[in-house]
Structure 1
Amino acid sequence: MKTVNKNAIAGESLSPYKGSPILDIITEKQLRTCVHCGLCLSFCPTYKATGLEMDSPRGRIYQIRGLASGEISADDPDLRKHLDLCLGCRACETACPSGVPYGSLLEAARAQLEPNSKTERAIRKVTLGFLFMRPWAMHSAGFGLRLYQKGGVQKAVHATKLLNVLPGKLDEKEKMLPDAQGGIRKQKFDEIIPAKGATKARVAFLTGCIQDELFRGTNADTINVLTRNGCQVLMPKNQACCGALHSHTGDIEHARELARRNIMAFEQTGADFYIVNASGCGSAMKDYAHLLHSDAAYAERAKKFVAKVRDLSEILVEVGFVPPKGRLKARVTYQDACHMRHGQKIFEQPRKLIKQIPGVEFVEMKESDWCCGSAGIYNVVQPEMANEVLGWKTANIRQTNADIVVASNPGCAIQISYGLREDGQKAEVLHLAELLERAYKAGE
């Protein structure tokens, strides 16, 4: 690697990280927490795949420290190669006895890296800087996709085999797209949806961006499950994207802007809890206090916000789950989304809920907490590694002989569904809310 030693100044005995822009995002204590014990190595998918120390959490932290001290330049191609290859699954955090906040370290380092090319810069500007920052633009994109899939355009394109000859392997990428739920036009949710029976809690619901455009049915089932369990559901006006993709790619300022928007929107509801049904969004929202720790106007508000954020499985257990009466005869396994298991440390609640569905045979999946290869947009920008990781996941699913795979994150659902189709497996992929609502309806 190229090295640039900016701190070798005679007569100074300063911290090697003093003045580093990385410390605007994380603390020096966080940067120094790793003791390089290596207990994380066997939990890292990319290290398993390549066997390279620089593709392990320990190796990447070594590189991030070099970047912070100035010993490694931000434009070093080797640095970018190894950081870009990281899935950001945070399995190393669960394994780490020292409590290293690896996810925060990775995001802080990526924030120092400029896009690889003008093309990448333009793509980020259009997607992260425009599309995800403006709900109307995301709604328009979602409408366009649903029109493409459900309005006959997709069939016409396939008939011409146009995607097969266009550059960028568009035919392969299109295979990964799920069928968007619902019709071409989305049915609008009421701003206030009353609980069925006595009200146990008033909850504000994050509909999400990708989740609401592709998985509108999942959101509808989530609302139904919440109301069946005594929750009055509120739809915050002016809610925005959670900012997860921005944080993961190092676009910290846009992530902070979105965090402020959501804090304002959810505060105005006066709700007891803020509910999320996508694990990546929930993990991002629970990180708002860290993201805004240096913002005098929002630091305390962010802490109060985070204290109210709950995943769907958490709130159902917390308010007292009402099990469905309907019987589902199915063998069910569960995929621990990375930002559910390793980011939010949620493991028992989804399993507890699934096991209470009459007729369901629950079976654990080997390495259920290993990444499926989706990791935000990782399966698009790092397809070779994503497919290798996905192959491990589909093999483990096959061993369960499950009829249904529960995956409570849109990225996981898309990736695993694609992997099962390619592998010839017939297992159905459902969100927890979809499985529960199916059981409730079966009992009506």
Structure 2
Amino acid sequence: MSIKEKEVLQDPPCSSQSLGNYLWDDKPDPDKWADCVHCGMCLESCPTYEITGQEQHSPRGRVHLIKSVAEGKLEVNEQFLDPVFACLDCRACTTACPADVDVGGLIEEARGQIRQAMPLTGWKGQVSKLFLKGLFPHQERLNSIGSLLKFYQKSGVQKVVRKTGLMNVMPPHLVQMEAIMPDVKQPVRKKYKDEEIVKAKGETKGEVAFLTGCVMDVMFSDINDSTVNVLTRNGNDVAIPKNQTCCGALHVHAGDRDTGRKLAKQNIEAFKDADTIVGNAAGCGCMLQEYPELFHEDPEWKEKAEEFSAKVVDVSKYLYDTGYEKPKAEINTRLTYHDACHLAHGQGVRKEPRELLIDIPGVEMVNMPNADRCCGSAGVYNITNPEMADAVLESKMENVPDDVEMISMGNPGCMLQMAMGVQKYGRNQKIVHTIQLLDWAYQKEDKEKEGK
């Protein structure tokens, strides 16, 4: 049964504008594809096209499909779903496009239409509902999961599970993820639960509000801790709004734009008194900056979202723009830097983290070819599309220099994916967040002063 036939049997969907076979509100925006002339400049930038060689898995191919549905030439069906959801949404094509066609925005809007026309059912629907609605928006539930994982790691259960091979009943890509799972520590929001503001060390030069993230604060709380340390070290009072929530990026990527809007509204209200909102996760920061895209049919909230998004900045750019103390202690290491897609392509932040790294005494930076090529993480893409994610990761690891000890980056999803690459291909590099390395240098400097 076609979508049009189904519509006859259902209540008619709301529609403020006719747009072919897109039958629900929040349709793909024609202005986003209007400037695409299918020139092909985007092809070499696209990881899925590189691997498949198929036109429908290229940026211009996907734009053509999205436009064709709007023109009534195609329907929202399985043939349309596959190329749209196979996209990594890495935004490299927009960087390469002479006309700046917003392919990522089109992909996310098309996914929203697909999930309204073809909602997930069965066990996939239940799992999606569990994580997207039952877990990520609820920090206390995530903290409980974190406590269980911490017990699993510290109690010896993890060693038993690995030694006995019990993990082998899981899909291979989940086994790989368990093997590189970071040590779970105390979330920053728990650590500072009794403090409205974490005061600057020394003279206060500014104040920022810190987005701790949802999974970020559970699985990567050490990075959040380093972020607070570095910001306060550089004269910033750090507010951590208690009613902040998940950024909604995973929901929007999955086509659940309604939940994405709900979370966006909560964050906009939570940070309404902030002048500057700092994040340390590329995907989250990019989502916050793109909140206006969720409200193009709601002028009131779009205005609020625009005011909000203008305040959002990645921590590396904030430090670079406002000035930071250059550490004096040496961290003697050779490292290379991976550009997270949503930092380089999504936020246009490239030189700032590199400058922070090379200002650390003893750090030798080695250039990574194609440093802004996607690693295959892409939110939960490495879970939903493991075969394609593995192929993208293999291509990425071929570009990692052999003679480095560390790989630095600014996104937790990338860190997990690259850690799997290091393990899978027998490498020995340590995966670090840029802010971690700066924090370690400060800590070493303080210890050296204490020892004198």
Q: Normalization by structure 2: what TM-score?
A: 0.90
Q: Secondary structure at the match of 1:317?
A: helix
1:291-370 to 2 correspondence within 5 Å?
A: 291-370=294-373
- Cα distance in structure 2, aligned partners of 1:421 and 1:434: 21
Alpha-carbon deviation of 1:170?
Answer: 7.0
Alpha-carbon deviation of 1:363?
Answer: 1.5
Q: 2:231 matched to 1:226?
A: yes
Q: 2:252 matched to 1:247?
A: yes
- Going from structure 1 to structure 2, the CA distance change for 1:69 and 1:149 (only over 3 Å counts) comes to farther
1:388-426 per-position Cα deviation (integer Å, ceiling 9, x unaligned): 111122221134x21111111000000101110121111
- Cα distance in structure 2, aligned partners of 1:302 and 1:419: 37
Alpha-carbon deviation of 1:16?
Answer: 7.9
- Find the counterpart in structure 2 of residue 275 from structure 1: 278
Stretches of structure 2 lacking an aligned partner (at least 5 in a row): 6-16, 447-452
- Find the counterpart in structure 1 of residue 13 from structure 2: none
Report the residue type matching 2:378 in the other structure. Answer: A
Report the residue type matching 1:191 in the other structure. Answer: E
1:138-190 per-position Cα deviation (integer Å, ceiling 9, x unaligned): 222222222222222222222332222x3544763444542234269985123
Partners of 1:3 and 1:71 within 8 A in 2: no
Q: 2:112 matched to 1:111?
A: yes
- Cα distance in structure 1, aligned partners of 2:207 and 2:165: 51
- Cα distance in structure 1, aligned partners of 2:434 and 2:170: 37
Alpha-carbon deviation of 1:194?
Answer: 0.9
Partners of 2:366 and 2:401 within 8 A in 1: no
Partners of 2:230 and 2:439 within 8 A in 1: yes
Partners of 1:26 and 1:108 within 8 A in 2: yes
Alpha-carbon deviation of 1:319?
Answer: 1.3
- Cα distance in structure 1, aligned partners of 2:397 and 2:101: 30
Q: Normalization by structure 1: what TM-score?
A: 0.91
- Going from structure 1 to structure 2, the CA distance change for 1:311 and 1:186 (only over 3 Å counts) comes to closer
- Find the counterpart in structure 2 of residue 263 from structure 1: 268
Report the residue type matching 1:417 in the other structure. Answer: A
Alpha-carbon deviation of 1:244?
Answer: 0.4
- Greater mean deviation of Cα atoms: 416-425 or 297-306: 297-306
Report the residue type matching 1:207 in the other structure. Answer: T
Partners of 2:331 and 2:363 within 8 A in 1: yes
1:65-104 to 2 correspondence within 5 Å?
A: 65-75=67-77, 77-104=78-105
- Find the counterpart in structure 1 of residue 217 from structure 2: 212
Report the residue type matching 1:328 in the other structure. Answer: I
Report the residue type matching 2:276 in the other structure. Answer: F
Report the residue type matching 1:219 in the other structure. Answer: N
- Find the counterpart in structure 2 of residue 435 from structure 1: 437
Alpha-carbon deviation of 1:96?
Answer: 0.6
Stretches of structure 1 lacking an aligned partner (at least 5 in a row): 6-14
The number of aligned residues is 430
- Going from structure 1 to structure 2, the CA distance change for 1:130 and 1:146 (only over 3 Å counts) comes to same
- Going from structure 1 to structure 2, the CA distance change for 1:16 and 1:56 (only over 3 Å counts) comes to farther
Report the residue type matching 1:119 in the other structure. Answer: W
- Find the counterpart in structure 2 of residue 147 from structure 1: 151
Q: Secondary structure at the match of 1:154?
A: helix
- Cα distance in structure 2, aligned partners of 1:427 and 1:332: 9
1:205-263 per-position Cα deviation (integer Å, ceiling 9, x unaligned): 01111110111111000000001111110010210000000111111000000000001
Q: Taking every aligned residue pair, what percent have the same amino acid on both sides?
A: 41
